Amino acid sequence: MAEAEKPNQIDGQNRNGGSSFARANKRFASLSNPFINNLFNNLDFKGSGPLKEVMQKLCQNPADFAILVPSTMFFALHVDADTGKRYSELCKDLDFILTHIVRIDVNKEPRIRTHKEFTTLNNKTIVVKADTIFSFKNFKHPVTVNILKQELMHGFADYIPMGTCFHVVYISDCLVGNFEFMGIATNMLTTMNIAEPIEKNGNLTSAKSLEPIEVQPFEVLIAEYPGLMELSQNYKKLFLESTFKKCKTLSDLEKSFIVLIKRGSAMFNALDPDTFKSLLENYTADELRESLYNYLEMNIYDKFWVKFNNLSVDNDDKQMDIAYEKLKWLSITEIGLPDKLVGDTVVLALYIKRIIAAISEFKKLSFANTSSFKCSIIIKTVEILSANSTIDADTLMLLLIFVICLSKVSHLNNHLKYIRKYTYSETNTEKGILGYALSSVEIAVKYFHSGDQLQELISKSLHNEVFWRLIGAVSSDFSDSGNKQDDEKTFQEIERLLEPLNKAGLVIPLDSFVKSRSLEGDSCLMFALKQNNKELMNVLLQFEYIFTLDDILEDQNISGSNLLATALALEHPFTSTLAQIIKQATPDEIEKYVNAQDNNNRTIGHLLYNSYLLLHDFGLYVDWTKRDCFGNTPLMVYARCYDHPRYDDMMSMTLSIVKQWYHKRGRVLSYRDHLDNKGNTLMHTIKDSITLELFLKSFDELELNYLNDANQSAVSLAVRYNRIDNVEILIKDPRFCLSVVDPVMYMSPLDYVKLERWEEDINRNIAKMLEIQFIWTEYGENLDIACVRARFEPENGLCCYFRVVNNLGKSDLILVPFSSVVKAFKLMKKETPCIPFNFNSPDIWFPKHLYVSMKGNISSSNKIKINALINNINLMIQALNMNGTLEHTATLQNYLLAPQEPCKIEVQTLVERNAIKSIYSKNFLYRKSILLDRLKFKRMIIKGEDIIAYDAFLEYSVSELERFSKLYSRLYRSFALSNEEAKDLDRLRTDMPWIVDESLKLRECRIEDSSDIFLDKIRLLYASVDELVKVAGEMRSSKLRRWRKLVSDLKSIRNELDRIAGSGVDGSSSPLSLGEPAVSAGTVKNNRQNILAKVFKQIDVLTGVLDDESIVEEVRKDIIKSMFRSKSYSPAENTDEMDFSTKEGIDKTLEELIDLKDTGIGSWFVEKRRVSYVGRLLETFLKFRIELVELDLDLRRHYESLAMLVSKFYQFRISIFKNAYGNYAKGKIGELKREVKSWELGLWEYRNKARK
């Protein structure tokens, strides 16, 4: 079609129900996104104008463009700062529309491939990198937007051609203007989680701005201000001139320190005014003075501190060093903390953690080189001990004593004196947080000089040392070097030590050595357990009045591990005995104990796999949904114990108990209950096929299509790692869907098959299993061949992989260039013109947006189109199979089923010439079979009454089919609009997240939309009807009309011949040449009458007037020889027919008799004019009779085929609707189930939170 004529394609779409749709369309509400609504649902679309030109360009070549659509929320909440217009109105401007439509044809835009640069319709340039779009050229304002989602949107308006789809890319913001946020009215739904402002000094300040501002180190100032560089060199000389070594007294040392500080200050004050001015612009004078003081102090500290310690000899420090050594076994339980605190193991563990952090901080005091650093260490130590809680001064003092005791800081008294004497501001040490912290530490230090109190602590520490050393001396049961005799002696000493305390009614104080704890929070039982000696635990636990059941249940260290959890982690030989002791507790106590989480959030349930038989005792108490720090639930941990010696038994028992646990609580196992931090479900985790099969059978409410954070389903993961047994089990489960693709790369499990390692049996078997299941579940078991993947190959471009089902002895995976697939589809119409399929005008059968070769890729957009292409090829093959096309054609089957080597994938290119030759050969054989059979030939001859019947049938069929065509067109457009409205609502909920609770994810994976597939099937049904209408219409308007014309012309020729040269016309012989015998007039007349009689008989037979068998047979033989001598048949193909005609005894054909010199037309008349006229009549007759025979052949064949195809269409219509609605209902039910599950889970989580 000429370029100027193309716009009429849109105008011509009003047929097939377009106008009625336009009337119906006005009843529908507008879509929420104004840009989509303006382009694709414009009820005021005019017959001309710029918008129509844009839409014409999009509709003519939708594969060449991508439409960038900003989110609905953006349009609702933004205005253009330059014009003040709301974007919901601005999006209707032509410039806005053109800016958001980009060209993606690589042939026309070569920089797409090289630089990822795309050009808009108004010649602006954008750059696409990953999921981000950047403005590049010709933009007024620089813009960066994110790609949110992509899809192929079906056109539904009456001004869009039937079946047209558009590549729509949803983006976060728009590309036009200087957008400005309008704000949202505050209400319950839109309240944001923003930190409350705090009033400070009469002004409102954000909570995040209250962090203290530290004084900038002077080294930073030197680096920032070049004017200070010379000063820093002078300071280095000053530091070398220090006289600390010469000082004899502390007074001299102090004077020397003050002199050096004053000299340094004077040097700083001598700076040039410009440097001073620039410094004071950013810092206060006091900040500069403190920064300089700290710098000077830091650089002289090492020399000064050595001299300071030498001159400040303090006996108290020596006494403290001795005390440090004697108190190293002291326990936190023995320093005098309140019994309430010591008796609560959870609180005590918290205080031990603080003490460890405080010790780590306090030890830094030995390395602090400025007074300010020492002050900050003391402040932080006090803050750590009192963090996030309110403790009294006495408790803080006891904790400080314990920290000082275990920190073992030498010269602590001198550190405190140094702070008091040489801090920059002495007033800071007397008040505020520093004054409080410093005073607290000084009071705690005095405790070490109190004789009686110190001796009491030392005594407790020595008792601890004896007991703990005995426990530590016991050898492990797993050690070969242990001495059992020595262990026995140790046990006896432990028994002698504990015997006096094991009395009924005796209350053991909390500061007793048996209640002591290490700095790791270990009790003596925990410490003994870690020795891995079963007998040691028996020795200790025989003292039941010392180590009671309550002590055992409450015992845990600072990592949160209790005794049984530690025993399980160590695989301790005492584990079973300890479990039996714990079973003596009440059910509530056992449940609390088993589900207590450690610092890694692990419970006993996470560790029972080491002694899985204990599941009988504790399995129903375990909370199977608790997650550790990696997100693993106990069930997931067990599933990952791949090297467990009794894995199958353990998992069988575990699954049975888990099922009971869920049933007992009235819950169903949801995949959300068992998701690790990488998004893996249990199906992703389980490697063992037996366990996987048992798991799938045990639980009904599973989501097998969930994608982990790497966007892989359980099947995709199994395919990647060649777990063929798992693949087989998963794909046979009806809950699994092979059309699931990830939302980023749009890959399905079939895309993970390793084609590059096709020679390996396991890869071929996995591929076959997946692909056959894919064909059967998505397209039905009646389909013998289907496209299973398509991808770009280096040498052949886009190629399709076809799976052949039950192709024994041949390769069952065929690699075909897409161009060859297109050729094969086109040749089908040439093979059988009457089939309801025509790929020579493919727009409706194979829409243009599916041609992905040489198209720019926007964030994996080509994979979306490839998936749609695969689906369309398969739906088309399915439709051709259902509507009877494949029964009448063999081109596609012969091409795709050609034999290949089973273990190789080789490109199979269609040789079009050979295929055409095969088609012509097939048609020739059909004609041959009719002409060589008497009965078939007689039946082939069409009569007038046959034509009347044909015409009536075709008229009725066309009328009926046109009615269906209009109906399907309206159904397609209405359903496409309804589908877009549903998607529009989903996008609205996604764009405005405050409408829906964030915990209620409605879709975690992208499943091939059942609505899109339904629309494609309706489109193919419409295409079949439309082609049947065209075929039937062409038969009526062309072939039947031509038949009537030929019959009329032949009858006219008969009448004219009868008038000119018939029996009533006399003639004379033609002039004789010399030497030729004379021919009588009677002989000439007889010859003429004989030949004309044959002509008249053939005309009567071919026009249906005469049906005498002998005459029909005579005509058949004559026509055979004449036809097979025709130039339209090659001599090689005519050999059999020529032989046949000779065998049948046909001496001369009618054509030859007419041309004979003696008896032919040349001898009939004397007048040359009459000879010439009759010759032309006979020549026309000979030509028309062959044309009529061939037309009869075509008419009879096409009518019978068409009648059968029209008859089959009704069954096809039922089948396609049944299949389409069945799959659509199945898909929608699946979506609703997933949504209901999400809401149920969200409700359960909400109730759980409310309960807590």
Regions of the chain where pLDDT drops below 50? 1-28, 184-213, 809, 994-1007, 1064-1078, 1127-1146
* Residues 1244, 2: Cα–Cα separation, whole Å: 64
Do residues 151 and 246 share a domain? no
Residue 986 lies in a domain: no
Residues 175 and 264 in one domain: no
Partners of 815 in the β-ladder: 801, 907
CB 426 within 8 A of CB 293: no
Q: How far apart are CA 1250 and CA 887, in angstroms?
A: 65
User: In 883-996, which ranges are continuous DSSP H helix?
Assistant: 885-888, 891-896, 912-931, 934-940, 944-991
pLDDT at residue 1204, rounded to an integer: 86
The candidate with the shortest Cα–Cα distance to 1188, out of 1055, 1074, 1037, 1045, is 1045
C-beta atoms surrounding 560 within 10 Å: 18
CATH number of the domain encompassing residue 857: 3.30.1520
* Judgement on whether residues 259 and 152 belong to the same structural domain of the protein: no
1227: exposed, middle or buried (C-beta count within 10 Å: 0-12, 13-18, 19+)?
buried
How many CB atoms lie under 10 A from the CB of residue 203? Answer: 8
Q: For the stretch 955-967, what's the b/e string if a residue is b when 16 or more beta carbons lie within 10 angstroms of its beta carbon?
A: eebbebbbebbbe
Q: Which of 181, 196, 213 is the last residue of a domain?
A: 181
Identify whether residues 144 and 265 lie together within a single domain.
no
Signed CA dihedral, 1109, 1111, 1115, 1121: sign only: positive
Half-sphere exposure of 894 (CA within 13 A, CB side): 19
- Within 8 A by CB and 6+ apart from 953, the residues are 1199, 1203
One domain for residues 18 and 156 = yes
Q: Are residues 174 and 28 part of one domain?
A: yes
Separation of CA 595 from chain center: 35
Q: Check residue 1240 and give its pLDDT.
A: 67
Does 168 map to a domain?
A: yes
* Alpha-carbon separation of residue 671 from 417, 674, 675, 684, 895 (angstroms): 64, 6, 7, 11, 45
Q: Tell which phi-psi region holds residue 1134, choosing left (phi > 0), alpha (psi between -120 and 50) or beta.
A: alpha
- Both tokens of 591, joined, read 């449940």
Three-state DSSP state, 829: helix
Q: Is residue 1196 part of a domain?
A: no
- Structure-token pair, residue 213: 């501002």
CB 782 within 8 A of CB 805: no
Spatial distance between the Cα atoms of 997 and 1196, rounded to a whole number of angstroms: 67
- Nearest CA to 1085 among 1095, 1077, 1093? 1093
How far, in Å, are 358, 851, 1080, 1081, 1169 from residue 1070 at the CA level? 139, 71, 10, 9, 13
The residue among 311, 332, 364 that closes a domain is 311
SS (H, E, C) 1049-1101: HHHHHHHHHHHHHCCCCCCCCCCCCCCCCCCCHHHHHHHHHHHHHHHHHHHHH
Q: Are 157 and 281 part of one and the same domain?
A: no
Contacts of residue 950, Cβ cutoff 8 Å, sequence gap at least 6: 1035, 1040, 1195, 1199
Three-state DSSP string of 313-360: CCHHHHHHHHHHHHCCCCCHHHCCCCHHHHHCHHHHHHHHHHHHHHHH
End-to-end CA distance of the chain: 72
CA separation, residue 220 to residues 229, 232, 233, 239, 295 (Å): 11, 12, 15, 19, 11
Identify the domain containing residue 246 by its residue range: 241-311
**Looking up tokens 């550790």, which residue turns up?**
628
Pair 86, 176 in one domain: yes
> Are 245 and 132 contained in the same domain?
no
Which pLDDT score is estimated for 1078? 46
Q: Are residues 149 and 252 in the same domain?
A: no
C-alpha separations of 1049 from 133, 1055, 1103, 1177, 1178 in Å: 71, 10, 10, 10, 12
Residue 794 lies in a domain: yes
Q: 10 Å Cβ neighbour count for 38?
A: 20
Measured in degrees and rounded to the nearest 5, phi and psi for residue 86 equal -70, 145
Check whether residue 167 and residue 284 sit in a common domain.
no
Tell me, yes or no, whether 825 lies in a domain: yes
Tokens linked to 137: 């050229």
Round to whole Å and give the CA distance between 49 and 736: 50
Could you give the CA distance from residue 151 to residue 171 in angstroms, rounded to a whole number? 12
Per-residue pLDDT tens digits for 35-94: 998 898 887 776 667 888 899 899 988 989 999 999 888 888 888 888 888 888 899 899
Q: State how far the Cα of 108 lies from the Cα of 121, in Å rounded to an integer.
A: 13
Output the DSSP codes for 1168-1202: HHHHHHHHHHHHHHHHHHHHHHHHHHHHHHHHHHH
Phi and psi angles of residue 206, each rounded to the nearest 5 degrees, phi first: -65, 145
Strand partners, 180: 79
Task: Specify if 670 maps to a domain.
Answer: no
Please report whether residue 307 resides in a domain. Answer: yes
CB 166 within 8 A of CB 152: yes
Question: Computed from CA positions of residues 180, 186, 188, 191, in that sequence, does the dihedral angle turn out positive or negative?
Answer: positive
β-bridge mates for residue 785, sequence order? 804
Number of compact structural domains in the chain: 3
- pTM of the full structure: 0.78
Domain boundary among 257, 277, 311: 311
Q: Both 162 and 245 in a single domain?
A: no
How many other C-beta atoms lie within 10 A of the C-beta of residue 942?
A: 23
DSSP one-letter code for 588 = H
Pick from 299, 150, 326, 332: which is nearest to 218 by CA? 299
Is 1018 part of a structural domain of the chain? no
